[in-house]
């Protein structure tokens, strides 16, 4: 799940300066769960923009705005409202915003900040456990990620800032390395903790990331 938070409305208004006719895009996937770009938030945004004197030419909320072909299709389906708009306000993650970028020549504005790939602990509670490093190390650390759950992302044990299981950056946050230690101890696998972890390949996913399925029959065989 991609976790987003809403930008302050004043910031959104500033983005839309000089554009009176706006088309709003919401996302039925992550942004709906995050309550930043679901049906309800899109309707609220429409009302607030109209109260500010804007014309909302149309709104659409669909699964996976990040799906570029899907987005182009939705734009075709809403051709009239899309063509009437000066610009687009996209209420989902940065991937979704850039998906809309591919579907129009007009201006595109983000309504959210994209914060992390998150786990849902319960309604409205999201935490980051994976930072998409491109070379998964979970097998070595009892399925608890040091790259993400340690603030410094270090790989050979806790730093000097650990204190009674909490991180030096915040007493609200667990020290990832204490979690890893406790897990490995419980599993009787502290030998994994003892192993020196060499330099990590931070370019395993070289930005910008790209994955393309190989077609059967290709690839040298």
Partner 1 sequence: MTVLIKEHAKPSIQEILESGKFLVTGEIGPPKGTDIDEMIEHINLLKDKVHAMNITDNQSSVMRYPSLGTAILIKELGGEPNLQVTCRDRNRLAIEADLLFAYTRGIRSVLCLTGDSIPVGDHKEAKAVFDLESVQLLQLIRNMEEGRDSGGNELKGGVKFFKGAIVTPEAVPIEPQMLKFEKKIEAGAQWFQTQAVYDMDNFKRFMEKARKISDKVYICCGLVLLTSPGQIKYMNANVPGVFVPESLAREMEDAPKEERLATGIRIMARQIRQCIDEKLCDGVHIMAIGKESVVPRILEEAGVDITKM
Interface with partner 1 (CB under 8 A)? 151-165, 167-169, 177-178, 181, 190, 193-194, 196-200, 202
When the beta carbons of 18 and 203 are compared against partner 1, the nearer one is 203
To the nearest whole angstrom, how small is the minimum distance from the Cβ of residue 54 to partner 1? 32
Closest CB 50 distance from partner 1, rounded Å: 36
Residue 157 C-beta: closest distance to partner 1, Å:
4
> Residue 51 or residue 199: which is nearer to partner 1 going by CB?
199
Ordered DSSP codes for 177-219: HHHHHHHHHHTT-HHHHHSPP----TTSSPSSP---PPPTT-S
- Phi, psi dihedral angles at 143 (to 5 degrees): 60, 35
The structure tokens listed for 167 are: 């991180």
Burial tier of 143 (Cβ tally within 10 Å: 0-12, 13-18, 19+): exposed
As a whole number of angstroms, the distance between CA 98 and CA 65 comes to 9
Q: Cβ 170 to partner 1, closest distance in Å?
A: 8
Q: Closer to partner 1 by CB, 199 or 212: give it.
A: 199
Side-chain-side CA neighbours of residue 159 (13 Å): 16
Of the two residues 84 and 115, which places its CB atom closer to partner 1 in the complex? 115
CB of 194 to partner 1, least distance (A): 6
Return all residues near 44 (Cβ < 8 A) that are at least 6 apart: none
The answer to whether 55 touches 75, Cβ cutoff 8 Å, is: no
By C-beta, is 47 or 204 nearer to partner 1? 204
């Amino acid at each position: 799940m991609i976790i987003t938070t809403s930008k302050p409305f004043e910031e959104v208004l500033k983005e839309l300066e000089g554009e009176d006719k706006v088309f709003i895009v919401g996302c039925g996937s992550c942004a709906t769960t995050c309550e930043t770009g679901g049906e309800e938030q899109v309707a609220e945004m429409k009302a607030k923009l109209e109260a500010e004197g804007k014309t909302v030419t149309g709104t659409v909320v669909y699964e996976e705005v990040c799906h570029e072909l899907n987005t182009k299709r939705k734009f075709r389906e809403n051709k009239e409202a899309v063509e009437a708009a000066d610009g687009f306000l996209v209420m989902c993650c940065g991937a979704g915003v850039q998906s809309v970028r591919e579907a129009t020549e007009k201006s595109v504005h983000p309504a959210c900040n994209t914060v992390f790939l998150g786990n849902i602990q319960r309604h409205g509670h999201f935490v980051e456990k994976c930072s998409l490093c491109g070379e998964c190390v979970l097998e070595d650390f009892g399925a608890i990620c040091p790259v993400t759950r340690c603030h410094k992302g270090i790989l050979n044990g806790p730093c000097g800032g650990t204190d009674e299981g909490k991180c030096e950056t915040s007493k609200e946050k667990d020290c990832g390395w204490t979690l890893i230690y406790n897990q490995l101890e419980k599993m009787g696998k502290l030998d994994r903790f003892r192993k020196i972890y060499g330099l990590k390949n931070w370019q395993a996913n070289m930005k910008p990331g790209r994955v393309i399925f190989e077609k059967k029959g290709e690839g040298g065989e």
